[in-house]
Every structure is written in C-alpha cells, then in structure tokens.
Amino acid sequence: SSELTQDPAVSVALGQTVRITCQGDSLRSYYASWYQQKPGQAPVLVIYGKNNRPSGIPDRFSGSSSGNTASLTITGAQAEDEADYYCNSRDSSGNPLFGGGTKLTVL
Amino acid sequence: QVTLRESGPALVKPTQTLTLTCTFSGFSLSTSGMCVSWIRQPPGKALEWLALIDWDDDKYYSTSLKTRLTISKDTSKNQVVLTMTNMDPVDTATYYCARTPLDSSGYYYYHDYWGQGTLVTVSS
C-alpha cells in the first residue's frame, strides 16, 4: 500500500529513551526521513538516509530501519524534544509520502 | 545560506485558482539532484506532499491532486510556482515549499530546508 502509519501519540519520561515508528510497504525499498515540528513552526529535518543527521541536530537523535518499519530514536529525551514528528518516504509511484505524524510528550 | 520564502494570497474564494510562488536563494535548481517540493498542512492535521520539480524540469504530482496542480520553475529568478485549480474550503492549509535533494544514489528524497509557510484560507 502507499501509506505510512505512525502512532498518533507517544510519551517519554525526561531523560529516558523513546522510539517513534513508521510502518509502510515502501520502507522495504526506500529510506525514511524524519521531521520535527513544534507549534507554529515549519518542520525541521532531523534524520535522513540510513542514519544521517543534518548539522545542528543533537546526536541523541538516531534512525534505523527493519523490514517495513523505520524508527526514530531519541536517547535521553529533553523537554525541548516535545513536538510532532513526521516520517517521509516514497510511495508506490516513487513520489514523496508523509506519515500521519506522532505527537511526542516529554513527562 | 539556503532560504526559501512562499508568497501568494492569504484568501481565495471557492472555485478560484491559487497561485503560490517559492523564491529561494543559496542553491541552484540547475544542479543535478536538486529539487523543490510543495507541501501543505491543514490546521491541526498532518503534512501532505503536493508536487516536486527537479533540476531536469521533470515534474511529479500527488496522485490524488494531480488533475488540479501545475508546478513550474524559473531558474533565472530562483522561483518555483505552484498553481492549484478549483479551490475548495478543504484546501485551507499552510503551504510550504522545501528544498528536496535526491540522494546521489537516486534512492530517496529528503526535505532539508523549508520556508516559513503561508496560510491560505478558502472561503467565500
């Protein structure tokens, strides 16, 4: 199918590790990229490719993939990591496709 | 320094055509592997990819919206234009343009720089 499925909401205690997942058939063929979006702001790229971080993104953010699932892991979550997170990959036509987003709450 | 800025009307009427312009700097859309996308986000909802134009002037559209969308570029002006016909209130959203490189392997896109977005409201 040409869908990317994310859990609507995830929570994590301050300083703990959280994994945000994205599922879809296209992930068997294409890498995902991950975006952080805070209220009222444009999305920010945090992970792309196999596990690449743009300049300025803390190394507590990492990406991985297995089968039809891509994951974004935040190791030692901080209060400023509270945001919406979106995965992006390619659909069956090869065009970009976003997941439905995950709202991360840091407790 | 890469920057993108969206411009266009804040309010359009139902059935009208929306024209948005993305003006960018800090990169060239003539560079192999370079692309620009349009992406939208209705209030409180998820991101939705709309269209992409690449360095070779190839154009790609969302399957669900392709009959309504046209993307074009003016490389000399560093601009990408998106038109969307037959606007409806459900098209009310913040519209973003983003730089979208295609990885050198040709295997994946990513959107590494975004404009601040422009809110378009469709209402009579």
Q: Write the CATH number for A9.
A: 2.60.40.10
Q: A12-51 pLDDT, tens per residue?
A: 999 999 999 999 999 999 999 999 999 999 999 999 999 9
| Residue B104 confidence (pLDDT) | 83
Q: B47-92 pLDDT, tens per residue?
A: 999 999 999 999 999 999 999 999 999 999 999 999 999 999 999 9
Cβ atoms B47, B41 nearer than 8 A? yes
| Residue B107 confidence (pLDDT) | 80
Given an 8 Å threshold on Cβ–Cβ distance, is A49 in contact with B110?
yes
Cβ atoms B41, B119 nearer than 8 A? no
Give the amino acid at B18: L
Find the chain A residues whose C-beta atoms sit closer than 8 A to any C-beta of B: 2, 30-31, 33, 35, 37, 42-45, 48-49, 54, 86, 88-91, 93-101
Cβ atoms B103, B54 nearer than 8 A? no
Select from A105, A89, A93 the least CA-distant residue to A5.
A89
pLDDT tier for residue A9 given thresholds of 50, 70 and 90? very high
pLDDT tier for residue B40 given thresholds of 50, 70 and 90? very high
Contacts of B46 in chain A (CB under 8 A): 86, 98-101
pLDDT tier for residue B17 given thresholds of 50, 70 and 90? very high
Contacts of A30 in chain B (CB under 8 A): 107-108
Mean pLDDT for chain B overall: 96
Average pLDDT over residues B91-104: 95
Pairing status of strand A33-37 against strand A83-90: antiparallel
| Residue B48 confidence (pLDDT) | 98
Domain with A90 in it: 5-106
**How far is residue A26's CA from residue A67's CA, in Å, rounded to a whole number?**
10
Q: Which residues contact A98 (CB under 8 A, 6 or more apart)?
A: A4, A86, A87, A88, B39, B46, B47, B48, B49
Residue A3 Ramachandran class (φ > 0 left, ψ -120 to 50 alpha, else beta):
beta
Given an 8 Å threshold on Cβ–Cβ distance, is A88 in contact with B48?
no
DSSP A26: G
| Residue B92 confidence (pLDDT) | 98
| Residue B120 confidence (pLDDT) | 98
**How far is residue A24's CA from residue B64's CA, in Å, rounded to a whole number?**
19
- Indicate whether A2 pLDDT > 80: no
Q: With 0-12 CB in 10 A as exposed, 13-18 as middle and 19+ as buried, what is A100?
A: middle
| Residue A94 confidence (pLDDT) | 86
| Residue A92 confidence (pLDDT) | 85
**Number of structural domains, chain A?**
1
Give the amino acid at B98: A
**How far is residue A48's CA from residue B66's CA, in Å, rounded to a whole number?**
27
Torsions phi, psi of B60, nearest 5?
-135, 140
Q: Which of B60, B107, B111 sits opposite A95 (nearest CB)?
A: B60
Q: A43-90 pLDDT, tens per residue?
A: 999 999 999 999 999 999 999 999 999 999 999 999 999 999 999 999
Return the structure tokens found at B63.
Answer: 């399957």
pLDDT tier for residue B108 given thresholds of 50, 70 and 90? confident
Return the structure tokens found at A15.
Answer: 């300083």
